[in-house]
Amino acid sequence: MALAGEFWENVWENAREEGRKEMVPLLVKALMDSGKQEPEIMTYLETELGLSKDEAQEYY
């Protein structure tokens, strides 16, 4: 049973990562369209989404 739980944890983590790759660029665009500037967006990506500075920069 432990293997099944571990399997589903891995599936969930992969799905979350794929969802992030699709959703974060849309979020960045929406923030830009609403008039937010780069420093505000970068701070949001880092603090609210838990991205590193490098990850946030890639999405920006």
Instruction: Give the model confidence (pLDDT) of 7-57 as tens digits.
Output: 777 776 776 777 777 888 999 999 999 999 999 999 999 998 888 999 999
CA 42 to CA 52: how far, in whole Å? 10
Residue 3's pLDDT band, with cuts at 50, 70 and 90, is low
CA 44 to CA 52: how far, in whole Å? 11
CA 8 to CA 42: how far, in whole Å? 32
Residue 42, pLDDT score: 96
- State the pTM of this model: 0.69
